[in-house]
Amino acid sequence: MGSGPGRIGSLNLLRARRLAALLVGSQTELADDLSTNTIAAVTGPAGDGFVLLAEDGAKAFGSSLIWAHRTGVAGLTLMVDPAADPGVQARRAKALADPPRVLAVDGANLDPVGSPGPPQRDALPDEIDTGVEAMLDAGLDVVDIGGVAIGEYLGLEVARAVVVDGVCEVHVGIGAFDREANRVLHPGRNAADSLRVTIDEVARYRRPGSVNHPLSTLDRERWLLKLVVDEPSLVGLSKLERVPAVRARSGLRESMPVAALGESDGTSVMVAVGSGTDPAMLADLADMIECHRPDRLVFVPIASLVPILADVLNSLRVPATVVEVARPWG
């Protein structure tokens, strides 16, 4: 949650106290509880909690829920700066059984946020089909992430299909830098040859026992989901289908849950794989619930689940079960 508030955190805490005082009365006492560069939290005299979200990002929402559970507040109010997108935070709040109140900060005013719709996803362009076929022919799993067709080998992105001037191209490489390097260094190499070379290299390290190599440590959420989708009996299901991500990541090193949908006894089940330690996953899981509307959630952590995160998972509006699955990289 941060080692110290810093100057920005201190200013946020001061703002949080002033804004919360507008809600509970300026003469009542507010206790300082937490301040970081992205959130500041105070408690009121009735045991209710007030959190100022100052910056956008999934971690701020998750950290707010963790603080509320640790503090044991009677009710939670999120006061959201425009930079933190009040509508997004209100949508995420709906995924909880006891949703916090969400207010938009407008100068010294606090305004209720209207009911938001589900996350909007960009559709894949029509011209993408030839690139998708090329990646499938190379033996890759093709998934939709933020409206982009991604080719994965054991969950690791090794290629993506893009449309340039109306023509579909397959850009091969692990991350943006590697894709650009391949295009510059091998301008005449066709996509099939580039895919074969890259896949062969990744396969050397993305296997059990290669735990310290970057090609083994990247995108482990996707690697574990690939295993579960291929063997849904690991989570008590007979069939699973990968679903598009609700947002694009900032890069390969950003941890982000991934999900698949299945059915059990006529109910929709979402299986999500994510970090067992990162507060940001709570916001992404909330987005997934609002987007895919499952009847229940099965959460598979890539590392031992921190107890406080398990507590927050149990506060979701859909029943959540944690299932441990043997990691394929072990």
Q: Which two tokens stand for residue 281?
A: 């996953």
| Per-residue model confidence (pLDDT) at position 27 | 60
| Per-residue model confidence (pLDDT) at position 94 | 95
Q: Rounded to whole angstroms, how far apart are CA atoms 293 and 288?
A: 8
Q: Rounded to whole angstroms, how far apart are CA atoms 93 and 73?
A: 16
At what angle are helices 280-292 and 58-71 packed, to 10 degrees? 110
From first CA to last CA, the distance across the chain in angstroms is: 29
Q: Rounded to whole angstroms, how far apart are CA atoms 160 and 305?
A: 32
| Per-residue model confidence (pLDDT) at position 6 | 67
Nearest to 236 by CA among 306, 322, 319: 322
| Per-residue model confidence (pLDDT) at position 2 | 42
Q: Which two tokens stand for residue 1?
A: 């949650």
| Per-residue model confidence (pLDDT) at position 270 | 98
How far is CA 247 from each of CA 8, 58, 106, 256, 279, rounded to the nearest angstrom?
Answer: 27, 11, 26, 9, 17
Fold of 6-112: 3.40.1340
How far is CA 1 from each of CA 72, 89, 261, 303, rounded to the nearest angstrom?
Answer: 17, 19, 32, 19
Does an H or E element contain 287, and which? helix 280-292
Q: Rounded to whole angstroms, how far apart are CA atoms 310 and 299?
A: 10
Residues of the chain falling short of pLDDT 50: 1-4
Q: Which SS3 state, helix, strand or coil, does residue 272 take?
A: strand
Sign of the four-CA dihedral 101, 280, 274, 284: positive
Domain(s) labelled CATH 3.40.1340 in the chain stretch across 6-112
| Per-residue model confidence (pLDDT) at position 206 | 93
- Do 314 and 299 touch, CB atoms closer than 8 A? no
Q: Which two tokens stand for residue 14?
A: 């001061």
| Per-residue model confidence (pLDDT) at position 3 | 41
The one-letter code for the residue type at 60 is A
Q: Which two tokens stand for residue 20?
A: 């919360």
| Per-residue model confidence (pLDDT) at position 305 | 93
- The whole-model pTM stands at 0.90
Q: Rounded to whole angstroms, how far apart are CA atoms 204 and 309?
A: 34
| Per-residue model confidence (pLDDT) at position 145 | 80
